[in-house]
Structure 1
């Protein structure tokens, strides 16, 4: 295995190209490991959370919504950005679960972190499993228009494998939960 220094790139200078509400676009000049100079363009993002709400009946509570950047309706698990730097990830996940689905849970199980596009984006999505769900009223943001859809976990996995779900966080989180549940069943035999 190669040493970390073989891969390391260091920033020589950085230029902020765009300073938005959610994204900050940079163009950096970097020193490459071979001694040459290179350039990297990337976006800084404060991070996000995603939740796989799994009902007692084994269904995943998904949200159907229009995604402007894609120009179409998508089917996804509940998710949202961290509201401020340093926000507790678990609290953010509980908030998003309630806002988008109305459900509450006494506890979340962390299932991993997802770097959505590590070549050009600093965003990390903190993923959770929510079980023992208690229903309630949704409280979406003013700019969110959502439809709740409950899909059996195994059926949702089939949709992912068939290419019907393109959202990366939904794919990663749902497949992780499916494998976790499979292992739990195997261990119980």
Structure 2
């Protein structure tokens, strides 16, 4: 048996959008189950996101600490952001986020992994990139506001992040998935096995 996710779409008898926000919305679908019954499913509609695990020559990861109101915590995270434009090239979005949040640029980019954050209640898809050969970005720093105005930046050894994940001290989805995926690649097939930065992404198709 091949362990691989596959595309499938069950019949929708009715759909509604009871809430539309600035970036996301909530959709209600009446979905036909395999036995013919119809059930209602509410879920968040999300434009998609990118995240960047930026690794320097000392095997340290660029991380930031930011207040997240829904969970009432300051979380250590890797640079990340929304796909603001439908069909936006995710690599370009990732490069923008690394510049805006860390004022860093990278010469070597690979796809580390693709994930659905909470597929039972949200259609958000995230592409996590590995960025290497880091240097300080040119020009002025991006002007931040709101939660980002209180943001802290650091470079933390990859092994320390993995320890924190397994100890239950770090909880951000992209940081957890990124750190563990990179560790698996380093201890397994190697970084040359990672997909190229422009690899297709069926969850959020884009133009190269």
TM-score norm. by structure 1 comes to 0.90
Q: Secondary structure at the match of 1:69?
A: helix
The match for 1:157 is 162
For the residues of structure 1 that align with 2:27 and 2:63, how far apart are their CA atoms?
A: 34
The match for 1:101 is 102
Structure 1: 5+ residue stretches without partners? none
For the residues of structure 2 that align with 1:138 and 1:132, how far apart are their CA atoms?
A: 20
1:25 aligns with 2:30: no
The correspondence of residues 1-189 of structure 1 with structure 2, limited to 5 A, is 9-136=10-137, 138-139=141-142, 141-143=144-146, 144-145=148-149, 146-183=151-188, 184=190
How far is 1:138 from its partner? 3.9
CA offsets 1:49-91 (integer angstroms, 9 cap, x no match): 0000101111001000111111121101110011111110000
How far is 1:8 from its partner? 5.3
Aligned length: 181
Q: Secondary structure at the match of 1:83?
A: coil
How far is 1:141 from its partner? 3.9
How far is 1:152 from its partner? 0.3
Q: Secondary structure at the match of 2:187?
A: helix
Q: RMSD of the alignment, in Å? A: 1.8
Q: Secondary structure at the match of 2:163?
A: helix
For the residues of structure 2 that align with 1:32 and 1:104, how far apart are their CA atoms?
A: 47
Larger CA deviation: 45-54 vs 132-141:
132-141
TM-score norm. by structure 2 comes to 0.82
